């Protein structure tokens, strides 16, 4: 019967518009309104269902009156499904766009913050904080200051045979190093290190390659002076390395680091510098055949040129 469908539709709309009211109460309200409609129909059979419903009013406004009496927020009458769907479409698009922007920002935000002026590199939002000025490297689980407290000056040296063909290797886990040249035939180092670090420092010399291993001596500050060897290799995890006027080829590889290179103005260099995340200065290579190869590779940090 058409009559019933019209009634059912009306009551369904009313139920929906009563939304925030608990279900048992909603059922009660619907039953009462239905009862009223049926009663009106019985009392005056000539009155059409339409006019009865019109007298009641739109189900949404009836529902609103219930909500208002209860002090609840009334529901806005939905004009038509089109408006509703346009709104949904619009809101979803905006949400998608925002989501996309957030992803882009997250993706491109550098994990590393390099502050060259102050000699500071922060990695992972400060999880690793390298401060060249203070000479400290903070790692999340505590500060490892490369400072002078509780440390003694420890020096050592190693005589090198056949200097010009010799190689020097420096391995470090964490430390600050000053690399200089000397005209004596030996590698000399002077470090600030505590007793544990002294014990942890190892050396190895096979007549050709001299290895100075600071890997277990974490958090040292050293001056290393090297004669005119063929190659100086420095490998490390976290390091601050200052290279001063070298006359030897170099291969520096650091994961997190600040490398400062001061060229000797009388010498020609051929640079191969690379940095993954961070900053580097412009290094101009020389074309001369005698140019000294300088390779510096830093994953996170900075490579700076000192004039």
Partner 1 sequence: MGMLLQIIENWKTQVRKGYLELCILLLIQQNKRIYGFDLLDQLSKLGLPLKEGTLYPLLNRMTSDGVLSASWETENLKGHPRKFYSLTKDGTRLLTQMEDEFQEMIKIFKTLQK
Contacts with partner 1 by CB under 8 A lie at 28-29, 31-36, 38-40, 43, 55-57, 61-62, 65-66, 68-70
Assign 285 to helix, strand or coil.
Answer: coil
How buried is 178 (Cβ within 10 angstroms: 0-12 exposed, 13-18 middle, 19+ buried)? middle
DSSP at 110: -
Residue 55 or 264 having the CB closest to partner 1:
55
Closer residue to partner 1 (CB): 27 or 97: 27
Q: Which of 137, 124, 92 is CA-nearest to residue 236?
A: 137
Q: Which CB, 66 or 210, lies closer to partner 1?
A: 66
Contact 140, 186 (CB under 8 A): no
Q: Residue 43 or 153: which CB sits closer to partner 1?
A: 43
- Angle between helix 59-70 and 2-17 (nearest 10): 30
- Using the minimum distance from each CB to partner 1, give the nearer residue, 21 or 168: 21
Q: What's the longest Cα–Cα distance across the chain?
A: 122
DSSP-derived secondary structure letter, 184: S
Angstrom distance (rounded) from CA 284 to CA 269: 8
Is 34:11 a contact under the CB 8 Å cutoff? yes
- Comparing CB distances to partner 1, the nearer of 5 and 43 is 43
Closest distance of CB 67 from partner 1, Å: 8
Q: Determine contact, residues 10/49, Cβ cutoff 8 Å.
A: no
């Amino acid at each position: 019967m058409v009559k019933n469908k019209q009634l059912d539709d009306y009551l369904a709309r009313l139920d929906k518009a009563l939304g925030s009211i608990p279900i048992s109460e909603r059922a009660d309200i619907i039953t009462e309104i239905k009862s009223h409609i049926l009663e009106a129909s019985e009392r005056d059979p000539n009155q059409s269902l339409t006019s009865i419903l019109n007298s009641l009013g739109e189900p949404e406004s009836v529902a609103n009156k219930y909500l208002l009496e209860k002090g609840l927020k009334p529901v806005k009458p939905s004009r038509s499904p089109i408006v509703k769907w346009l709104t949904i479409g619009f809101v979803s698009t905006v949400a998608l766009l925002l989501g996309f922007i957030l992803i882009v920002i997250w993706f491109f935000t550098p994990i590393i913050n390099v502050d060259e002026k102050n000699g500071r590199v922060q990695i992972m939002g400060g999880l690793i904080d390298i401060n060249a000025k203070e000479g400290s490297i903070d790692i999340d689980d505590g500060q490892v200051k490369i400072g002078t407290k509780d440390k003694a000056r420890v020096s050592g040296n190693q005589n090198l045979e056949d200097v010009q063909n010799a190689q020097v290797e420096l391995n470090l886990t964490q430390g600050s190093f000053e690399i200089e040249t000397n005209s004596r035939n030996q590698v000399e180092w002077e470090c600030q290190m505590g007793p544990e670090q002294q014990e942890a420092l190892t050396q190895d010399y096979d007549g050709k390659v001299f290895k100075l291993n600071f890997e277990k001596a974490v958090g040292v500050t050293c001056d290393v002076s090297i004669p005119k060897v063929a190659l100086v290799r420095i490998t490390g995890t976290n390091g601050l390395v200052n290279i001063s006027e070298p006359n030897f080829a170099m291969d520096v590889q650091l994961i997190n680091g600040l490398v400062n290179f001061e060229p000797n103005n009388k010498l020609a260099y051929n640079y191969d510098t690379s940095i993954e995340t961070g900053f580097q200065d412009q290094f101009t290579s020389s074309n001369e055949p005698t140019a000294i190869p300088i390779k510096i590779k830093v994953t996170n940090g900075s490579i700076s040129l000192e004039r």
